Amino acid sequence: MALVMRQCGVNDDRIPGLQVPLTFHDLRQGRKYHNELSYGNKDQDQDQDQDHQRHRESLRQLLEKFDVQDIFGLVDKHKHFDLPDDSHLIGTVGTFGVHPQSLFYLIRTVADKTSNPNELCGHKFTYIPGKGLRPYEFHQGPLLDDSKVKPEFFSQFINYLNKYNITSIGLDDLLETVSKGEDLLETV
């Protein structure tokens, strides 16, 4: 009798920061995943090849198929800088005294030791072969209520990335503020 190994997916490995609470290990791994990203290049973003656009369209259709397009988005994974040891990125929504009518999403580097993983959730996720989706950027706030998300969505999303060996596109938790249609300005 042959033993068949299953692909890593939501059924055998729940997604940290999305389906299960984060740990300090997840924060450290998030830094590692972030630092492995390539630097963002505006010219490259404008000149993306047809395969990339085709895959984005297929993944966008997958979001719509499962009716999660107001919960999740796609992110072209990149970094602006390397994170120092013992730190990670946390985003927070607020006005920050800048303009009371505008909401900002402030992303900042925070030391691991000053964070409580129980007060954070995943915000941007990368696919790691053999591990599934893993957070590389975090958000100050509770875990997403994923009761509206069928588990098959995650396994189909992961299977698509794996099948086409896609490493440049990740999953983005749109946050409740954005999904309600409010404008949000992101600042790193």
Q: Which residues pair with 122 in a beta bridge?
A: 138
| pLDDT means over runs of 10, the chain (188 residues) | 35 82 96 93 54 94 96 93 95 79 85 94 94 95 89 96 93 71 55
Instruction: Give the total number of structural domains in the chain.
Output: 1
Q: Say if 93 falls within a structural domain.
A: yes
Nearest to 106 by CA among 76, 139, 130: 139
Residues 6 or more apart whose CB falls under 8 angstroms from that of 171 comprise 72, 73, 74, 75, 124, 125, 133, 157
What pLDDT does residue 73 have?
93
The pLDDT score that the predictor gives to residue 184 is: 55
The domain in which residue 66 lies consists of: 24-38+51-187
Is 135 part of any domain?
yes
- Does residue 43 sit within a domain? no
- Integer Cα distance of 36 and 170 in angstroms: 14
Assess if residue 19 is contained within a domain. Answer: no
The pLDDT value given to residue 96: 76
Helix (H, G, I), strand (E, B) or coil at 33: helix
Distances (CA, A) of 84 to 68, 80, 162: 34, 13, 30
Q: Which value, to the nearest 10 degrees, does the dihedral of the CA atoms of residues 39, 42, 44, 50 take?
A: 120
The pLDDT value recorded for residue 9 is 38
pLDDT, residue 43, reads: 44
Asked whether residue 146 is assigned to any structural domain, the reply reads: yes
Q: Which DSSP category does 178 fall into?
A: H
Count of H helices and E strands in the chain? 5, 7
Asked if the structure places residue 143 within a domain, the reply is yes
Contact status, residue 72 vs residue 33, Cβ threshold 8 Å: no
| C-alpha distances in Å from residue 28, one per residue of 72, 94, 108, 127, 143 | 24, 26, 15, 16, 18
- Answer yes or no: is 176 within a domain: yes
Residue 120 lies in a domain: yes
